[in-house]
Amino acid sequence: MSNDAATLLVGASTDFLRNFSPFNRMEAEALGFLAERAVLAFHARGSEILTPESGVPTHFHIVQRGKIQARQAGQATVTEYTSLTLGPGECFPIGAISARRPSTNAYVAVEDSFCFQISADDFLHLMQISPVFHLFCTQYIASLLSQSRQQLQSSFAQRAAEQQTMTTALGKLIKQDPVFVTPDTPTRSALERMSELHLGCMVVVDAERHPVGILTQSDLLPRVILAGFDLARPIGELMTANPHQLPASASAYDAVLEMATHGVRHLLVVDSESVLLGVVSERDLFSLQRISLRQIRAGIDNAADIAALQRASKDIRQLALNLIAQGIGAEQLTQFISALNDALTRRIITLAREHHDLVGIDFAWFAFGSEGRHEQTLSTDQDNGIIFRCADAKQVKETRTRLVEFARTVNEDLAACGFPLCKGNIMASNPELCLTLDEWKSRFGDWIREPDPQALLNASIFFDFRVLYGNERFGDQLRSALNKGAKGNSAFLRMMAANALKVMPPLGRIRDFVVEEDGTIDLKKSGARLFVDVARILALRTGVESSSTVQRLRQGSNKIGMSPEEVSAIIDGFNFIQLLRLRSQHLETEHDSADDNRIDPESLNELDRRILKEAFRQARKLQLRLKLDYQL
C-alpha cells in the first residue's frame, strides 16, 4: 500500500473515532497511535467475534458499522444485563482484556458489521500513553466493582434474630471441623479421604495449619485422569497453590462476590492468624439464599396480623435489593417483587374477610397499573378494584356497600404495609371501582367508543389488569370483551397511538440526554412508560391476553412480523430502564417517593450511560413504528 493510501486510511479512522467518547477527548499522539494500528475487520451476521471459550482476548474491538450483541455466558454474573447491543463507537471487551482473563460475554454480530481492532499489547500500551483512555477503562471496571460492592452491602433484615442471611459472617456458617492434609501426603490417600467423607475438595495446609493449596473434584479429570498423574506422588505437586480465602468476619455476600470474580466454587475461611477454620461452598451460599426466600413466603402465609405482614413487606424490599446485587435481571426481579406482593395482598384480604360478612358474594380483587403488569418496583402505590356478580339485580347496591366497606379495610391495611393510598383514588374502596362484570364491560366499551382524553387516560391505567384474589373467570371474561371491542375499533387505537407519542425519549442532538431543570430524567414518565404504552396498543391490536409489557411485546410483535432480533433489543432496553429504576430506589425511602424514579445521567458510569442511550433509541424506534403504522 502506498504511503498516500495509508495516510488516507489513518485519517479516515481518526475522523471516525473523533465522533465518539473517549476518543474525542484523547490526546493527539495517542489517537494517532490508535488510528495507525487499527485494522478494519468484517464480521458477517450471526458470526461469533469473541466468546468465553476463546480464552484471554487477543484484540480490542471498536464497532465501526453494524451491531454487535454482548450476551452473558456462564453462571458468574458480573454485570446487571443479560444482553446489550453495541453500535458504532462502542467497544469491547474492556474488563476482560484489561484483566487478561477470558470474557464473561459472548459477542455476536447481529447484522453484517465492521470493527476496528488492535492487539491486546497495543491496547495496554494505549492505556499507558493516554491518561484519558486509561481513566475511561479503569473507571469502567471500578464502577462495576464498586456498584456490586455497594449493592452487596444492602442488608437483608429478617424477623428472627437467629436467622442466617446473606449478611451472616462466614465464621457462623462453619458447621464442622475442617478436613485437611499436608503437602507431602500421597495423592491417593488424599483422594481416598475425599471419597470416604464425600468432600468436594481437599485443603492442603502447612505445619501451622495455614492453607497453602486446594484440590477440587473438578481438578481430577484434567490433572489426574487425563494427565495420567502418579497417585503415589505427593498432593503438593498437584494442588492449586494460593487458594482463595476470606476471614471469618467476612459476610456471605463477600464470598459470593469472591466466587463470581474468580470463578471458584470453594472458599477457605481463616481466623485472624490465617489458620484454617473451614470451607464454604457455592452450594452452602445457594442454600442460604433459598432458605431466606422460603422463610419470607412462609412468614406471609402464616401471618396472623398486620404487624407480621409489615415485617414481611420490609423483608420483600430488602431481599429484592439483595437479588439486584446477585445480578438478577429486571424482568425476573419485578416479577419476583410482584409475586411476593401478590402473596402479601392475598393474606391481607384473607385476614380482612374474617371481619366482614362476604358469605355468598362472588367477587374478584383486581390489580391495575404496574402490579397488573407484574412490573412492580420497590416504589409503588395502590391501584386496585373489585369485580362482582349478583344473581338478583336488586341486591347490587347492598352487595356493593358490603364490598366497599371490606375494601376500605384492605386498602388501609395495604397502606400500613407500605403501599400508600392512591392519590387519584384508584382503589377498590372507591364505589366507582367496585362494579359488576357487566358494569366493567360497559365502562370499558364506553371508553373505546368515545375515546376522549379522560377515556384514554383511564385506558392506560385500567386496561392493564389481572385478578389477584377470587373468581379468575371474571378477569378472563373482561379481557375477552376488551380485546374484542378494541381490536375492531381502529379510531380508538389510533388515538391511543397519538397519546403514546406525546412523550418522546429524552435523547439530545448535541448532548446525550435531555434532562429536566434539576438535571435528572424521570425513568418512569420518560422511560418505562414509552415501552408500556406501545406494548398495550400492540396487545389490543393483536388480541394478546397478557398484561405484561414484555409478553405483550414478544407475542404481539410476532403477529405483526417484527424480527426476533429487533424485539429482543427493545425488551433489553425496557428491562435496563426498569433495572435503573430499581437501583435508584432505597429501603429508607417511602413507597412512591417523588425521587424514586429520577436519575442523574451524569452519575452513571460510561457503560450504563451507553446502555441507557441505547435503551432510549429502542424506545424511539418502537414509537417510530407506531407512528408509521397509524400514519401519525
Mean pLDDT, residues 29-58: 93
- Contacts of residue 201, defined as CB under 8 A and 6 or more positions apart, other chains included, come to 194, 214, 215, 216, 217, 266, 279, 281
pLDDT the model gives residue 146: 39
Which CATH number is 270's domain given? Answer: 3.10.580.10
427 and 496 share one domain: no
291 located within any domain:
no
120 and 201 share one domain: no
620 and 519 share one domain: yes
- Separation CA 439–CA 450 (nearest Å): 16
- What is the residue-averaged pLDDT of the chain? 84
Burial class (CB in 10 A: 0-12, 13-18, 19+), 371: buried
H or E segment to which residue 70 belongs: strand 68-72
For 250-280, give the secondary structure using H, E and C: CEHHHHHHHHHHHCCCEEEEECCCCCEEEEE
Tell me which residue has cell 435508584. Answer: 584
CB half-sphere exposure, 12, CA atoms < 13 A: 10
Burial class (CB in 10 A: 0-12, 13-18, 19+), 236: middle
Q: Is the pLDDT assigned to residue 292 strictly greater than 90? A: no
Task: Report how many domains make up the chain.
Answer: 4
pTM score > 0.85 for this model? Answer: no
Instruction: Indicate the angle between helix axes 606-629 and 131-152, nearest 10 degrees.
Output: 80
332 and 202 share one domain: no
- Separation CA 419–CA 584 (nearest Å): 18
Strand order in the sheet with 48-50: 48-50, 105-109, 68-72, 83-86
Q: Is the pLDDT assigned to residue 68 strictly greater than 60? A: yes
How many CB atoms are located within 10 Å of the residue 481 CB?
17
192 located within any domain:
yes
pLDDT the model gives residue 604: 81
Instruction: Indicate the angle between helix axes 131-152 and 252-262, nearest 10 degrees.
Output: 140
Residue 575: band (very low, low, confident or very high) from pLDDT cuts 50, 70, 90: confident
**Sign (positive/negative) of CA torsion 121, 125, 128, 132?**
negative
25 and 102 share one domain: yes
147 and 189 share one domain: no
282 and 307 share one domain: no
Which CATH number is 414's domain given? Answer: 3.30.460.10
Q: What is the pLDDT of residues 211-239, one digit of tens each?
A: 999 999 989 989 998 889 999 999 999 99
- Separation CA 431–CA 391 (nearest Å): 19
Ramachandran sector of residue 470 (left: φ over 0; alpha: ψ -120 to 50; beta: rest): left
82 and 8 share one domain: yes
∠ CA 621-627-631 to the nearest 5 degrees? 150
pLDDT the model gives residue 142: 42
311 and 392 share one domain: yes
- Contacts of residue 353, defined as CB under 8 A and 6 or more positions apart, other chains included, come to 406
In this structure, are residues 483 and 616 in contact, taking their beta carbons and an 8 Å threshold? Answer: no
In this structure, are residues 59 and 29 in contact, taking their beta carbons and an 8 Å threshold? Answer: no
Q: What is the pLDDT of residues 597-611, one digit of tens each?
A: 888 988 887 667 877
- Separation CA 182–CA 203 (nearest Å): 8
581 located within any domain:
yes
- Contacts of residue 603, defined as CB under 8 A and 6 or more positions apart, other chains included, come to none
- Separation CA 545–CA 442 (nearest Å): 19
β-pair partners for 434: 386
In this structure, are residues 305 and 209 in contact, taking their beta carbons and an 8 Å threshold? Answer: no
∠ CA 109-118-260 to the nearest 5 degrees? 65
Least Cα distance to 300 among 357, 351, 376, 334 occurs for 351
Q: What is the pLDDT of residues 111-161, one digit of tens each?
A: 999 999 999 999 989 988 998 888 777 665 444 433 433 433 333 233 333
Q: What is the pLDDT of residues 307-325, one digit of tens each?
A: 989 988 888 877 777 676 6
292 located within any domain:
no
Domain, as residue range, for 177: 170-286
DSSP 528: I
End-to-end Cα separation, the chain, in angstroms: 52
Least Cα distance to 334 among 551, 51, 176 occurs for 551
